[in-house]
Chains A and B, each alone.
Chain A
Amino acid sequence: MSTVAGAPVEEHRDDTGARMGMWLFLFTELLLFTGLFLIYAVQRYRFSSDFAYAAATLDTGIGTLNTAILLTSSLTMVLAVVALQQGKRKLSVTLMAITLGAGLAFMINKYFEWSHKFELGLYPGSEELVLRTPGEQTFYSLYYAMTGLHGIHVVIGMGVIGTMIYFTARRPRRVVRLRDVEETALENLGEAGRYAAEGQLEEVQITLFYVENEDVTERSVIRVENTGLYWHLVDVIWIFLFPLFYLIG
């Protein structure tokens, strides 16, 4: 091709494989939580009345609000994926930013919720909790362990979404195979062009400064898709945590 920005090189990618890898990872996450759900199920069976009594102290209102926030963030996340698939980069970034904000709102609610419990002296090993029944102690241990592990997942998800916003918002980059570039155009590549002329460099990544908004690098789509999968799994886990902790009182 005659220009520097010439024909983009066909990259060696396997998007289906990338998604499959993500799903396999998500199954290990499911099994991680399954272990905890298993403990919950057995202990709940042993101490059902204590669990009901202890669960009544949880704030159903905050729990319901957080459920709505997380479900809404799942919607904005999937819309961000769909927008990017359609090449709407700015819209996708905006939707991911909303998703990130929702994750933050979820964690802020969690902070107030836990702070209130700490004020009441209800945390594992507290003087107050030592006086309670074994069933109640077990309930609070599981409550902190399971919603805590879930919270860590929300924070990790927020970090990944933040990274994806950066990748999606920045100018797209293209790999150019230098032997397809005309000699005169190589000069425009500066140092890289010199190496290419000497045959030491085969391809180079360039940043596209003049791009349409619609120009989305395909690689960033699969990244955002996999980020979405992770975020939705965190949502699915909360869908089970919510009724099992907040709605049994």
Chain B
Amino acid sequence: MSSKKAALFGPYILVWLALLMLTGVTVTVAGMQLGNLSVLTAVFVATIKSTLVLHYFMHLKDESVVFKMMLGLAVFTIAAIMLLTFVDFSFR
């Protein structure tokens, strides 16, 4: 029983450790004062972390392709809103 439990809980604990490590990475990189590069790193690491949460903790890996397409559409919409706003803002 206990070994079975470990086998099933194990992957989640690994993902959790990865998330904590990535948090450590962002905090360390932010302390280096890299300017614009640190913003990019922060958003990049945050994207990796949220992908891990979505994929493993929210079990998106076990869902049908429809769920993934729905998420893709949501992310695309958000990206489009962000992009169009900045195009408008930059050339005003």
A interface list, Cβ under 8 A from B: 16, 19-20, 23-24, 27, 30-31, 34, 37-38, 41-42, 45, 60, 64, 67-68, 71-72, 74-75, 77-79, 82, 86, 225, 228-229, 232-233, 235-236, 239-240, 242-244, 247-248
Q: Which residues of B contact A244 (CB under 8 A)?
A: 42-43
Q: Which residues of A contact B71 (CB under 8 A)?
A: 23, 27
Do B16 and A243 touch (CB < 8 A)? no
Q: Which residues of B contact A30 (CB under 8 A)?
A: 74, 78
In whole Å, how far is A9's beta carbon from the nearest beta carbon of chain B? Answer: 27
Closest A residue to B58 by CB, please name it: A232
Do B53 and A232 touch (CB < 8 A)? yes
Q: In the complex where A41-B86, A244-B42, A247-B42 touch, is A239 in contact with B12 (Cβ < 8 A)?
A: no
Pick the contact of B89: A45, A86, A235 (CB < 8 A).
Answer: A45
Q: In the complex where A31-B77, A71-B23 touch, is A78 in contact with B12 (Cβ < 8 A)?
A: yes
In whole Å, how far is A212's beta carbon from the nearest beta carbon of chain B? Answer: 14
In whole Å, how far is A32's beta carbon from the nearest beta carbon of chain B? Answer: 11
Pick the contact of A75: B16, B49, B54, B58 (CB < 8 A).
Answer: B16
Do A64 and B85 touch (CB < 8 A)? no
Q: Which residues of A contact B30 (CB under 8 A)?
A: 60, 243, 247-248
Q: How far is the CA of A165 from the CA of B3 in the complex (A)?
A: 26
Closest A residue to B41 by CB, please name it: A243
B interface list, Cβ under 8 A from A: 5, 8-9, 12-13, 15-16, 19-20, 23, 26-27, 30, 38-39, 42-43, 45-46, 49-50, 53-54, 56-59, 63-64, 66-67, 70-71, 74, 77-78, 81-82, 85-86, 89
Pick the contact of A243: B8, B45, B57, B74 (CB < 8 A).
Answer: B45
Q: How far is the CA of A112 from the CA of B58 in the complex (A)?
A: 31
In whole Å, how far is B74's beta carbon from the nearest beta carbon of chain A? Answer: 4
In whole Å, how far is A37's beta carbon from the nearest beta carbon of chain B? Answer: 8
Q: How far is the CA of A247 from the CA of B35 in the complex (A)?
A: 11
Q: In the complex where A64-B23, A75-B13 touch, is A42 in contact with B8 (Cβ < 8 A)?
A: no
Do A248 and B9 touch (CB < 8 A)? no
Q: How far is the CA of A242 from the CA of B86 in the complex (A)?
A: 22
